[in-house]
Chain A
Amino acid sequence: MLTETIETVPIRSSEDIVRVRQKVRFHADAMGMSLIDQTKIITAASEIARNTFEYGGGGELLLEILRDGARRGLRLTFSDEGPGIADIEQAMRDHFTTGGGLGLGLGGAKRLVNEFDIKSQPGEGTRISLIRWK
């Protein structure tokens, strides 16, 4: 599988979450993704970017294009150096929240993409990657 790094986007403010949505839209559209696929990955990115900002204390998004034979996909990796997640299984469950949100961020975002990976340790930050294949 070939990986091409496109760019990194800092996530330090709520305006940056808007910027994440715009960057993801731009690259998903440039890849020729359908409108519904674009909408799903932008929405998933918005949810995770908000977690990175609100719970992770800020971080960044790495955008990559994947080529696997004829298949192309967009991989988004969000990383922060925040407090980390102690119980990932619990955090993935719908309506679980430690903040004031709906608690749909992680589980909801997972439903909107083809591949979802989360790595987190208390005190060592969180790294979440999403892939949507075209």
Chain B
Amino acid sequence: MDKIPILKVGKCLLVTIQIDMHDRLAMALQDDLTNAIVSTKSKGVLIDVSALEIVDSFIGRMLSNIASASRVLDAVTIVVGMRPHVAITLVELGVQLSGIRTARNVDKGLETINRLIEQSESTDADGDD
């Protein structure tokens, strides 16, 4: 079975989805990514969906699950690069993607994620703040 590669970039994990995933592959990615957050002690996850031609409710649910699991594991998830026609279709379908942070491209996503990581680290250092 194919696997979607997960790359470690600084304190983040970067996933670029470049193929039309079948459902089991999407589930495997969800599990692999959740495990990788813990094993690599990552503070952020960047998921690049710019190559995806469609996002249906299944993939939408996978993205929500990854975002929720990473939050519980003290990491931030940002979904980047969603194409406009994909975004419109998702909204009409009724998928909310609530609680998911987004950015226009990988550069902006990395910028945001690094800022969020710095903020959480300085809060940790301040103690009870």
Contact = CB atoms under 8 A, between A and B. Distances in A.
Contact of B95 (A14, A36, A104): A104
Interface of B is mostly: helix
A112 B89 contact: yes
Interface stretch (B30-38, B56-64, B67-75, B120-128): B56-64
B85 A111 contact: no
Nearest to A54: B23
Contacts of A22: 20
Interface in A12-32: 13-15, 17-18, 21-22, 25
Contacts of A104: 57, 93-95
Interface residues of A, number: 27
17 contacts: A14-B24, A18-B20, A18-B22, A21-B54, A25-B53, A36-B85, A36-B89, A39-B54, A43-B93, A102-B60, A102-B61, A104-B57, A105-B57, A108-B57, A109-B93, A112-B89, A112-B92
Given A36-B89, A40-B89, 14 more contacts: A14-B23, A15-B22, A21-B20, A36-B85, A39-B54, A43-B90, A46-B56, A47-B56, A50-B23, A101-B57, A101-B58, A102-B57, A104-B95, A112-B93
Interface of B: 20-24, 53-58, 60-61, 85-86, 88-90, 92-95
